[in-house]
Amino acid sequence: MSQHLRWTDRQFEFTFPVEVYPEMIERLRGTPARLEDRVKPVATEILTRRDGERWSIQENAGHLLDLESLVSSRLDEYLAGAKNLHAADMSNRKTYDADHNQVSIESILTNFRTQRTNLVGRLDQLSSESFAVVAHHPRLNVSMRLVDMLFFQSEHDDYHLARISELIRLFVR
């Protein structure tokens, strides 16, 4: 199995032009479909199987759902002109407390699609100037434009989709 660089070890450079915001919105819009494509054909016993103490496929999917409220709150902060974004809970307490392996994957997928559709709908309504608004990201300790935050979230989506694919390769023979 490949070495998957931990999310918290990743470094980011936000050097692209703000005008790429439509592509960032499309990446976010596409995550529910890509997630569904990966998990729907997989049996429940595989979806809920853990790799040691690491999250199951279903817990990774649930984590994406759990973070939608953070992304929505951060969008609110950008639009309100906040100078600092509030910090994420790096202990991921919400995901552990949710016990995603005890709910149906259909529920996780439906709720994620609904919340992500709402987020993308909000983004679609913004002026192009909105994507250049800047706030400070606490964990990365950098100033981020709204377009950078969308890139960061898209990368986080892809990180968990890659982990889900890795688990499918590991457990489905």
For the chain, the structural domain boundaries read 7-171
The residue type found at 103 is V
Q: Are 159 and 143 in contact (CB under 8 A)?
A: no
Whether pLDDT at 2 is above 70: no
Question: Exposure pattern of 21-49 as b/e (b: 16+ CB <10 Å)?
Answer: beebbebbbebbeebbebbeebeeebbbb
Class of domain 7-171: mainly alpha
Cβ neighbours of residue 21 under 8 Å, at least 6 residues apart? 128, 131, 146, 147, 150
Q: What is the mean pLDDT of the chain?
A: 94
At residue 1 the predicted structure's pLDDT band, cuts being 50, 70 and 90, is: very low
Q: Which of 64-73, 83-92, 105-114, 143-152 has the lowest mean pLDDT?
A: 83-92
pLDDT (0 to 100) of residue 160: 96
pLDDT tens digits for range 47-85 = 999 999 999 999 999 999 999 999 999 999 999 999 999
